[in-house]
Amino acid sequence: MLESVRVMNEVSSSNFGVLIAFLVPGFIVLWGMSYFSATVSLWLSGAGTTPTVGGFMFVTLASVAAGVTISTVRWAVLDTIHRWTGLPPPKWDFSRLQDNIAAYNVLNDIHYKFYQFHGNALMALVFVYAARRIHDGIMTTPVGLFDVGFLILSVVLFVGSRDTLRKFYVRVSQLLGTRPSEHHKEPMLRFRPSQRLAPAAVSDAGRIGGQHSCSGQRSSTTEGAFS
Q: Is residue 189 part of a domain?
A: no
Give the pLDDT band (50/70/90) at residue 41. confident
| Average of per-residue pLDDT across 182-194 | 50
Segment 73-111, tens digit of pLDDT: 999 999 999 999 999 999 999 999 999 999 999 999 999
Q: Is residue 214 part of a domain?
A: no
Residue 179 near residue 97 (C-beta atoms within 8 A)? no
- What is Dmax (Cα atoms) for the chain? 132
Q: Is residue 36 part of a domain?
A: yes
Instruction: State yes or no: pLDDT of 69 exceeds 90.
Output: yes
Instruction: State yes or no: pLDDT of 45 exceeds 70.
Output: yes
Mean pLDDT for all residues in the chain: 80
Q: How many domains, the chain?
A: 1
Q: Is residue 207 part of a domain?
A: no
Q: How far is CA 154 from the centre of its chain?
A: 20
User: What range does the domain containing 165 cover?
Assistant: 10-184
Q: Is residue 217 part of a domain?
A: no
Please report which helix (H) or strand (E) contains residue 130, including its range: helix 113-136
Q: Is residue 1 part of a domain?
A: no
Q: Is residue 59 part of a domain?
A: yes
Put simply, whether the predicted model's pTM sits higher than 0.85 gets the answer no
Q: Is residue 200 part of a domain?
A: no
